[in-house]
Amino acid sequence: MWSEGGQTRGQEEVAGEARREEGVTTNELWSTLPDLPCTQISIALAFLKGRGCVETSGRRSYAASTTLCEDALTEFHYLAHQAARRA
């Protein structure tokens, strides 16, 4: 952990910020998450792109906002709610 402006920050948070700026490719996700099926990773990324949570430039994907996790959860819950209403 390190301190910035009086706040202590964990390595994960700092790494996440760097990743937001660098973006990520599908191949990088596949390499980073070897225990998950490649198709599952690709579908999750396509979902995030389709719902506007991720933007692409070339082959790299970038978070559309600083609240990617919250945005993704909001979109998922919206779709789940819509599906439950139709059932």
- Could you read off the pLDDT of 15-56 as tens digits, one per residue? 455 456 788 999 998 998 899 999 999 999 999 999 999 999
pLDDT bracket for residue 6 (50, 70, 90): very low
Nearest to 19 by CA among 71, 52, 54, 43: 54
Q: Give yes or no for residue 1 having a pLDDT over 70.
A: no
Asked if 1 contacts 14 with a C-beta cutoff of 8 angstroms, the reply is no
Q: Where are the alpha helices (DSSP H) in the chain?
A: 11-22, 26-32, 38-50, 68-86
Q: What percent of the chain has pLDDT over 70?
A: 77
Asked if 1 contacts 9 with a C-beta cutoff of 8 angstroms, the reply is yes
pLDDT bracket for residue 13 (50, 70, 90): low
Give me the CATH code for the 2-86 domain, please.
Answer: 1.10.10
